């Protein structure tokens, strides 16, 4: 009697200490399985009848173990061990002791503790699963692991954890057929009202599709879609389940499901910016841009650092034709994430579309300073500088691009690259370099008609290599026989050779083909040939048409004046070559 009287106050003192120092939840976690209703918020009857003395002392031992755990793990473990001896049916305490044994690599001891607890709690799914996990991970013994996993399934047929364990066992043991059959077995529990079960089954089924290479099989993914829809319906008040379903719907492009699930989730968690972003993107993909924009504005108001929101908003504005608004959003995105060179190039393209090439050049220069090994950046800078007629700077940028490509990215040196390099070099006055680059283009792609024509016209303009120039131009016309620019080039190279009668037909055809958008160079060349053939009136008419067009050369006015005065026209001068 005296001993019993002394034990209870001691136990109570330690319990109070635990509550004050560690909080009630740690104590509840260990005491709930013992059925200690006075301390557990969700008490249940004890599995085994115990004396009040043993229960109190066991709880006191647990309290002492909690207090000394940080400073003296061994002493803490001894108190836990003694507590379990007094209360062998405590599931949580058994698992904690087993965890310590496993840390010490004492696998047999861990198994012994858990098996003893399972004998006293044969309906404990968590104990059976813990034992199965040890057999798989620590011992690689799949037979016993499967037996205990099946026991867990029998104890908790509506829980997903036993199926997850069995699935892992079958896959690890090289039994994929049984793993697939297990998923079918789980799917037949269509009366199961556990939302987490269906979400977990969906996760397992996705894993199966990935491993079997059937993730793009619409027939098989339809089954998985059904699992997640069931999870979302049953888990309308469970944000964890809804989020798992949303992630699948969004990744699988099931946009209507994604929208509905995201809206439910945001009712429960209004500040979930990631889910709001997914909702906005799904709405945008469905063409519901007005709704998407409202959500994106909400995201940026709540989280001004949302890169995805700014980019998505920019895409919506682009579709509306608001290029300036899109540019503003993309620039804000770049301030948040400046490690993506593609974003720089998108901004550059928008700057060009908004007719602000100087702004585009500044962004490209900044990108070049950051990404020093990428040939794309100086290449695009060269194109922009050319647009601004700053040809020498453009040529320098193209040379830098070629050098970077040769060192870091040889695949960038395509036929089109050499063509653009040649064009910029010619405009910059570097004729020898231009010829070298254009020949490199033609060597890589013998049917690159633009390069064939450009080089041929460039030579004919200078009155050199006229035979080769004619051959190249004729090769271009075989590829594009109705190209007005190429026909003009042919007429001009024939003119330069003094073959005026032959030159007339291609130039007349070029003029006819370009009638919808008349070209000053073609009309001037046609006038030059007509003049050489003595058809002065027709020549004057052609020159008059040329003079009225944008891009007319300075010499055409002198030719017109001479023709009207009845004098011979000044020597014809070819216009600067165009690609």
Average pLDDT over residues 59-76: 60
Please give the Cα distance from 117 to 129 (Å, whole number): 13
**Three-class SS state of 264:** helix
Each residue of 101-148: pLDDT tens digit? 898 899 999 999 999 999 999 999 999 999 999 999 999 999 999 999
pLDDT in tens, 201-228: 999 999 999 888 888 888 889 999 999 9
Q: What DSSP letter does each residue of 318-342 carry, written as one string? A: HHTT-HHHHHHHHHHHHHH----HH
This prediction has a pTM of 0.60
Q: What is the pLDDT of residue 420?
A: 96
Residue 541 forms part of a structural domain: yes
- Burial-class residue 213 by CB neighbours within 10 Å (0-12, 13-18, 19+): exposed
Q: Is residue 526 part of a domain?
A: yes
CB hemisphere CA count around 272 (13 angstroms): 20
Give residue 269's pLDDT.
93
- Rounded to whole angstroms, what are the CA distances from 240 to 231, 235, 250, 267, 279? 10, 9, 15, 13, 16
Model confidence at 559: pLDDT above 60: yes
Q: Say how far apart CA 407 and CA 116 lie, in whole Å.
A: 68
Residue 92, pLDDT > 80, answer yes
Closest CA to 418 of 388, 448, 438: 438
Q: What angle do CA 276, 280, 285 make, to 5 degrees?
A: 145
Q: What is the CATH number of the domain that holds 525?
A: 1.25.40.10
- Residue ranges of the alpha helices (H) in 235-375? 239-251, 255-268, 273-285, 289-302, 307-319, 323-336, 341-353, 357-370
19 lies in a domain?
no
Q: Number of structural domains, the chain? A: 1
Q: Is the pLDDT of residue 84 over 50?
A: yes
Higher pLDDT among residues 570 and 351, named by residue: 351
Under DSSP, the state recorded for 160 is S
Half-sphere exposure of 233 toward its Cβ, with a 13 Å CA cutoff? 9
Residue 494 belongs to a domain: yes
Instruction: Give the integer Cα–Cα distance in Å for 138 and 377.
Output: 53
- Among the listed residues 411, 413, 433, the one whose alpha carbon sits nearest the alpha carbon of residue 424: 433
User: What is d(CA 138, CA 185) in angstroms, rounded to the nearest whole number?
Assistant: 28
Residue 13 lies in a domain: no
Find the domain containing 553 and state its range: 466-579
Element of type H or E holding 38: none
Calculate mean pLDDT across residues 184-206: 93
Q: Judge whether 17 lies within some domain.
A: no
For residue 578, pLDDT over 90 is answered with no
Residue 563 belongs to some domain of the structure: yes
Specify if 413 maps to a domain. no
Given the structure tokens 């997914």, which residue do they identify? Answer: 278
Query: What average pLDDT does the segment 423-433 reach?
Result: 96
Q: What is the pLDDT of residues 468-493, one digit of tens each?
A: 999 999 999 999 999 999 999 999 99
pLDDT of residue 351: 86
Q: Is 132:148 a contact under the CB 8 Å cutoff?
A: yes
């Amino acid at each position: 009697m005296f001993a019993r009287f002394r034990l209870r106050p001691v136990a109570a003192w330690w319990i109070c200490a635990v509550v004050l120092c560690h909080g009630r939840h740690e104590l509840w976690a260990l005491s709930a399985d013992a059925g200690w209703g006075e301390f557990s918020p969700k008490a249940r009857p004890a599995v085994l009848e115990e004396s009040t003395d043993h229960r109190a002392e066991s709880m006191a031992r647990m309290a002492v173990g909690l207090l000394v755990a940080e400073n003296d793990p061994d002493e803490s473990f001894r108190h836990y061990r003694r507590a379990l001896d007094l209360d062998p049916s405590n599931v949580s305490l058994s698992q904690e002791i087993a965890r310590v044994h496993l840390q010490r690599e004492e696998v047999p001891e861990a198994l012994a503790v858990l098996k003893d607890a399972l004998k006293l709690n044969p309906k404990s799914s968590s104990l059976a699963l813990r034992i199965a996990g040890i057999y798989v991970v620590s011992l690689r013994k799949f037979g016993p692991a499967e037996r205990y996993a099946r026991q867990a399934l029998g104890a908790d047929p509506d829980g997903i954890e036993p199926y997850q364990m069995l699935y892992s066992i079958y896959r690890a043991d090289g039994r994929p057929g049984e793993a697939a059959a297990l998923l079918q077995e789980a799917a037949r529990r269509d009366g199961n009202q556990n939302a987490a079960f269906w979400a977990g089954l969906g996760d397992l089924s996705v894993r199966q599709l990935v491993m079997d290479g059937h993730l793009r099989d619409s027939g098989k993914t339809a089954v998985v879609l059904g699992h997640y829809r069931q999870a979302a319906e049953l888990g309308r008040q469970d944000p964890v389940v809804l989020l798992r379903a949303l992630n699948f719907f969004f990744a699988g492009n099931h946009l209507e499901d994604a929208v509905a699930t995201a809206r439910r989730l945001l009712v429960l968690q209004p500040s979930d910016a990631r889910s709001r972003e997914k909702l906005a993107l799904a709405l945008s993909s469905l063409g519901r841009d007005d709704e998407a924009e409202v959500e994106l504005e909400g995201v940026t108001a709540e989280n001004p650092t949302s890169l995805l929101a700014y980019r998505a908003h920019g895409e919506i504005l682009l579709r509306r034709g608001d290029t300036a608004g899109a540019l503003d959003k993309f620039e804000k995105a770049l301030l948040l994430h400046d490690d993506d060179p593609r974003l720089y190039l998108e901004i550059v393209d928008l700057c060009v579309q908004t007719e602000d090439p100087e702004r585009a050049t500044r962004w490209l220069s900044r990108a070049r300073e950051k990404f020093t090994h990428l040939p794309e950046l100086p290449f695009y800078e060269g194109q922009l500088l050319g647009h601004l007629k700053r040809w020498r700077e453009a040529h320098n940028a193209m040379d830098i691009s070629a050098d970077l490509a040769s060192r870091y990215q040889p695949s960038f040196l395509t036929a089109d690259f050499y063509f653009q390099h040649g064009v910029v070099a010619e405009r910059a006055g570097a004729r020898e370099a231009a010829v070298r680059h254009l020949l490199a283009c033609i060597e890589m792609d013998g049917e690159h008609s633009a390069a064939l024509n450009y080089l041929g016209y460039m030579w004919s303009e200078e009155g050199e290599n006229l035979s080769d120039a004619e051959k190249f131009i004729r090769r271009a016309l075989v590829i594009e026989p109705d190209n007005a620019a190429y026909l003009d080039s042919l007429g001009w190279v024939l003119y330069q050779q003094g073959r005026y009668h032959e030159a007339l037909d291609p130039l007349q055809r070029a003029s006819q083909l370009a009638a919808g958008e008349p070209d000053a160079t073609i009309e001037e060349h046609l006038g030059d040939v007509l003049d050489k053939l003595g058809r002065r009136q027709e020549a004057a008419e052609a020159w008059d048409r040329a003079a009225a067009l944008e891009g007319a050369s300075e010499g055409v006015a002198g030719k017109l004046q001479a023709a009207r005065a009845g004098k011979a026209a000044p020597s014809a001068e070819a216009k600067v070559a165009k690609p």
